Amino acid sequence: MPVPRCQRLVGTRAPLPGTLTVVEGRCGGPSRQRPRRAAGGEPVRNGQVVAQDRLGLPFAVLCSVPFVMVLSNSMLIPVLPLLQRAMDRNLFQVGLIITAFSIPAGLAIPVGGYLSDRLGRKPVMIPALILFGAGGLLGGVAPILVRDPYGLIIAGRILQGVAAGGLYQVALAAAGDMFRGDARTRAMGVLEASNGLGKIISPILGSALALLTWYAPFFAYPVLSGLAALGLGLLVDEPRHRRRGPELPRYLADMTRIFREKGVSLLVSFLAGFVALFVLFGLLSVYSDLLEEPHGIRGFVKGLVVAVPVAVATVTAYVSGIVLQGRLARALKIVLVGGLGILGAGLGFLYLTDGLAALVAGTSIVGLGYGLALPALNTLITSSVPSAERGGVTALYGTVRFFGAALGPPAFGLLVEGGKAALYLLPAVGAAAVLALAAWLLRQDVLVRQEREGPTADRREERVAGGQPGERPAGPSPAGTDGREAGIPPVPLGPWSRVRSSFPPAARTGHRHVPAR
């Protein structure tokens, strides 16, 4: 039935962001509601921070989280020989400085994901950054306090590993909460690029700080993580429409339901992420050794040459995040499969060619495939679940990625012993197998949820009383939802059709409205 031109609306539902809203008691048609801004610049409507359409300063601060985390190992690897000589340890013992971080981090990431769903993203990331800095500070002051600092350095690295569970993957989930649609795809590319930028800068930063003293790199951790924590606290506001995650038993049941509905596509996505990280980091470890022997490139020049494929991956990730918008967002699966194909082609190129230029070019082709695949993969996974379970899914994804990066270097070290064919062709066959699985089994329409912004954006995935998860009872639309959510087509209202979606449900159905005085 037609809606009166002047009326007082009765209802509690908040209008959708970007829609027109009729102001109570005002005649003459609808008026556009201008959003207020939160402390970090995010749009606020009805007292709630809502999803954004463009990247800004708050998101730049969020990008500092993966940048800080990637310093954890990459900054120390170039100075490990210096640490070995200073503490008079063997190669295995100094290698434990890396392992002491990696194992706790892999175990803590799922816990950090659950806590971020339950408590919020910032309440997990800020303490994690503080703990990460404290672990680095412990490693830095240990040589000053004790004669043999090795034990305290290992303890500090364990603290940093535990803190890592609340960093990059939680930032990934936070970006998924902050953005929708095209903006989310762009954000995933920029996040991956900030991770890659850290990989480029960290070896140079570690080597430069080690010129002061061998333990100086440890002091960079508290400085950088402290700045990131301060920025998060002052400039970033979480979207408050994100549903709080349920208690652990219900949370596990919801995760089980998600994997029952989308498990095949999610597992293929996880496997693709594992292979991409496994190949890139494994190849880079061998690439660094091959530059020294047989090509004789060492020192600062070696660092610059090592940075070339990483820079290619970083720039590609950034550009692909920008390009994969609008209609191209439908091609996420195609881009993922194409990226895996380019990655495998780079390995094949390395097998067929020789020489320094071919080595740099082939490794850069692998970086190009990695940079194409990862932003598309990140978008598919962060878009696959509502915000209340997003932290858990991205945490599982992060654990898989983390172990791919950790297992790649030793695995490629073993493959070197088998000759050139084993080193390049076996990983290429693995990448081709995952490519085939992704092309066959991964369904983008199953993974990517159709989302709306606003306080009710994620309620469609909630359990409904009297039904199973994701089901709606028969009959009228449940309270607090509209006909579109229940599968009922909208009723045209002539010139009022543009403002229909901003009415509370009661007003749209013609019930419980009171004519204006």
pLDDT digits (tens, 9 = 90+) for 158-200: 999 999 988 888 888 888 888 877 788 788 878 878 888 888 8
What pLDDT does residue 230 have?
95
Give 111 or 469, the one with higher predicted confidence. 111
Q: What is the pLDDT of residue 28?
A: 44
Q: Which residues contact 310 (CB under 8 A, 6 or more apart)?
A: 196, 199, 200, 284, 367
- Considering the domain architecture, whether residues 133 and 40 belong to the same structural domain is answered as no
Q: What does the chain come to in residues?
A: 517
Q: What is the CA radius of gyration of the chain?
A: 26
**Residue 274: φ, ψ to 5°:** -60, -50
> Does 407 lie in the same domain as 355?
yes
Find the farthest-apart pair of alpha carbons in the chain and give their distance in angstroms, rounded. Answer: 89
Does 490 reside within a domain?
Answer: yes
pLDDT the model gives residue 473: 37
Within a domain: 476: no
**How many Cα atoms occupy the beta-carbon half-sphere of 510 within 13 Å?**
5
> Does residue 108 contact residue 116 with C-beta atoms inside 8 Å?
no
Q: What single-letter DSSP state applies at residue 501? A: G
Indicate the DSSP class of residue 149.
Answer: -
pLDDT band at 109, cuts 50/70/90? confident
Give 442-461 pLDDT, tens digit per residue. 888 777 765 544 444 444 44
Contact by Cβ (8 Å): 105, 402: yes
Residues 492 and 353 in one domain: no
The closest of 191, 193, 199 to 174, measured between CA atoms, is: 191
Is there a domain that residue 270 lies in? yes
Task: Residue 152: count other Cβ atoms within 10 Å of its Cβ.
Answer: 17
For position 455, what pLDDT does the model report? 41
CATH code, domain carrying 449: 1.20.1250.20
Give the mean pLDDT of 484-506.
40
DSSP summary character for residue 128: H
CB 147 within 8 A of CB 105: no
Per-residue pLDDT for 234 more than 70?
yes
pLDDT confidence of residue 294 = 80
| 419 Ramachandran zone, left/alpha/beta (phi>0; psi -120 to 50) | left
* Mean pLDDT, residues 12-16: 42
Residues 21 and 62 reside in one and the same domain: no
Same domain, 284 and 160: no
Highest mean pLDDT among 18-32, 316-330, 384-398: 384-398
Given a cut of 90, whether residue 388 has pLDDT beyond it is no
* Residue 147 is assigned to a structural domain of this protein: yes
Task: Inform me whether the pLDDT recorded for 497 exceeds 60.
Answer: no
The whole-angstrom separation of Cα 423 and Cα 419 is 6
pLDDT at 474 over 50: no
Gap between the Cα atoms of 207 and 435, Å rounded? 38
Q: Is 467 part of any domain? A: no
String of DSSP letters for 96-111 = HHHHHHHHHHHHHHHH
In the sheet with 48-49, reading across from the earlier edge strand, the strands are 36-37, 43-45, 48-49
Say whether both 288 and 434 belong to one domain.
yes
Per-residue model confidence as pLDDT tens digits over 132-146:
999 999 999 999 999
pLDDT for res 446: 77
The DSSP bridge pattern shows strands 7-8 and 48-49 to be: unpaired
The whole-number pLDDT of residue 21 equals: 36
Q: Tell me the pLDDT of the chain averaged across its residues.
A: 76
**78 domain residue, yes or no:** yes
Nearest to 234 by CA among 408, 41, 453, 510: 41
Domain range enclosing 416: 262-453
Whether residue 371 is found in the same domain as residue 426: yes
pLDDT in the model for residue 273? 93
Does 214 share its domain with 111?
A: yes
Q: Name beta bridge partners: 7.
A: 515
pLDDT surpassing 90 at residue 75: no
Query: Does 311 score more than 70 pLDDT?
Result: yes
pLDDT at residue 383 in the model: 82
**41 and 76 co-located in one domain:** no
CA count, 13 A, side-chain hemisphere, 232:
29
What does each C-alpha distance from 53 to 42, 92, 322, 478, 499 come to in angstroms? Answer: 10, 49, 13, 29, 21
Question: Cβ–Cβ contacts within 10 Å for residue 70, how many?
Answer: 21
Final residue before a domain boundary, out of 204, 220, 253: 253
Q: Examine the domain organization and report whether 395 and 380 are in the same domain.
A: yes
pLDDT at 329: 63
Residues 391 and 417 in one domain: yes
Of 48-57, 65-74, 349-358, the poorest mean pLDDT is in 48-57
Q: 200 versus 324: which is more confidently predicted?
A: 200
pLDDT score for 368: 95
Say if residue 70 is in the same domain as residue 37.
Answer: no
For residue 466, pLDDT beyond 80: no
Average pLDDT over residues 83-91: 86
Residue 479 one-letter amino acid = A
Higher pLDDT residue, 501 or 349?
Answer: 349
Asked if the structure places residue 468 within a domain, the reply is no
**Structural domain includes residue 392:** yes
Number of domains within the chain: 3
> Whose CA is closest to 136, among 64, 218, 223?
218
Condensed to tens digits (0 to 9), the pLDDT of residues 246-281 reads: 777 887 888 888 888 888 999 999 999 999 989 998
Name the band, by pLDDT with cuts 50, 70 and 90, for residue 243: low
Taking alpha carbons only, the member of 362, 388, 374 closest to residue 173 is 388
| Secondary structure of residue 15 in the 3-state scheme | coil
